Structure 1
Amino acid sequence: MDRHRIPSLAYYTTRSGTMHYSSNSISFSVNRLIKMEATLSRVARLQRERRKGGSWMGKFSKMADLINSDVFLAFSTYTTIVILKMMLMSPLTGYFRITRKAFQNWEDTWMGKQDPEERKKMLQTNPDVERVRRCHHNDLENIIPFVVIGLLYTLTGPDLSIALLHFRVFVGSRFIHTVSYVMSLPQPSRALSWVVGMITTFSMAYRVLTTALHL
């Protein structure tokens, strides 16, 4: 019995000229073609994802580059400064409460030497204390949006000089606003500092929206 091979099929020819196909050889060839097709399909899919930026490894690498960028480091620095400034408003409120002897809770009047009448007088509203409390509340209304929007802003890849301008202007405006509020400086010092901070936050928000939504 003679054996002849062609590229995709193997068969045997008997002396009488009858061809008998080898089922094992056919099965091997079909399996090999299926594996090759699957490999080519997988390679093509990976290439498409790489071109579109859809590879999760590519996204992770890009995110890591953004976090390690100078813009993100600058944002972290100025955000830490302004958050610490906001946190210091709580002890400042406590200081004014103690020095003005103005409390909201009975147990806080323990320094009244157990004299009920004197302790009752401490349960009062003081304008200086309320001024610091309102300043602290204003910080919460403005700094928290700045932190959230600023973080998204850094992920858009802005220019370092422009980003620093946004961060510095906002932090400076909040310090001026606090000094103007606590020290009762005449208007429009406090109002202008608040407006500058709001415009800065809206400017970063506009950059985020135009980058993400292609407005």
Structure 2
Amino acid sequence: MGEAIYWYAVASVLLFFKMFAVSAYQGFYRIGKMTFKTPEDAAFVGRAAAGEELPQVQRAARAWLNDLENIPIFLALGVAYVWVGASPGAAAWLFLTFTGARYLHTVFYLSGLQPWRTVAYAVGVVCLFGMSVQIILALP
């Protein structure tokens, strides 16, 4: 297995775990507070549906949406990166830095920490541009 493929696989799995953790975070607050907006979920625990989601759940949902704007782009660029045989040496740095930035972005988002959330986001975007440049340079 090539080095770029290896690091792409590692980053993909780590990003899955991160997104799963955001879902678990939402569930932790919903179950812990027994507060559910969806009527059938509330009825299942013998409660009335809440008028709105808990603040923690709302914040996690926004972090999740941000992931949905960024992680699929990483996954697509990562496939292109591997397919064209872009720099294997840069792959570990780009893929793992992007992944670390997404982890930090989520932690900072859930904690309400600015400007660190924006810094983490920007680091991830720089990695996406770096991947794009490496892909273009690898094309014949």
Give TM-score scaled by structure 2 length: 0.87
Gaps of 5+ in 2: none
Shift of 1:75: 1.2
Choose the corresponding residue for 1:152, options 73, 77, 80: 80
Deviations 1:130-149 (A, max 9, x none): 00111111111111110110
Does the 8 A contact of 1:153 with 1:207 survive in 2?
yes
Bigger share in helix: 2
SS of match in other structure, 1:88: helix
Gaps of 5+ in 1: 1-67, 113-117
Find the aligned partners of 1:95 and 1:123 in 2 and give their Cα distance. Answer: 19
Does the 8 A contact of 2:86 with 2:138 survive in 1?
no
Moved more, 143-152 or 102-111: 102-111
| Other-structure match for 1:14 | none
Number of positions where the alignment pairs a residue of Structure 1 with one of Structure 2:
139
Find the aligned partners of 1:161 and 1:119 in 2 and give their Cα distance. Answer: 55
Cα 1:77/1:89, change in 2 over 3 Å? same
Find the aligned partners of 2:18 and 2:37 in 1 and give their Cα distance. Answer: 24
Find the aligned partners of 1:102 and 1:189 in 2 and give their Cα distance. Answer: 30
Does the 8 A contact of 2:4 with 2:88 survive in 1?
yes
Find the aligned partners of 1:190 and 1:104 in 2 and give their Cα distance. Answer: 28
Higher relative contact order (CA 8 A, sep 6+): 2
Bigger share in strand: 1
Find the aligned partners of 1:83 and 1:201 in 2 and give their Cα distance. Answer: 18
| Other-structure match for 2:7 | 74
| Structure 1 residue identity aligned to 2:135 | V
Matched residues, percent identical?
A: 29
Choose the corresponding residue for 1:133, options 58, 61, 64: 61
Find the aligned partners of 1:77 and 1:69 in 2 and give their Cα distance. Answer: 12
Choose the corresponding residue for 1:204, options 128, 131, 136: 131
Find the aligned partners of 1:95 and 1:149 in 2 and give their Cα distance. Answer: 33
Aligned-pair RMSD on alpha carbons?
Answer: 1.8
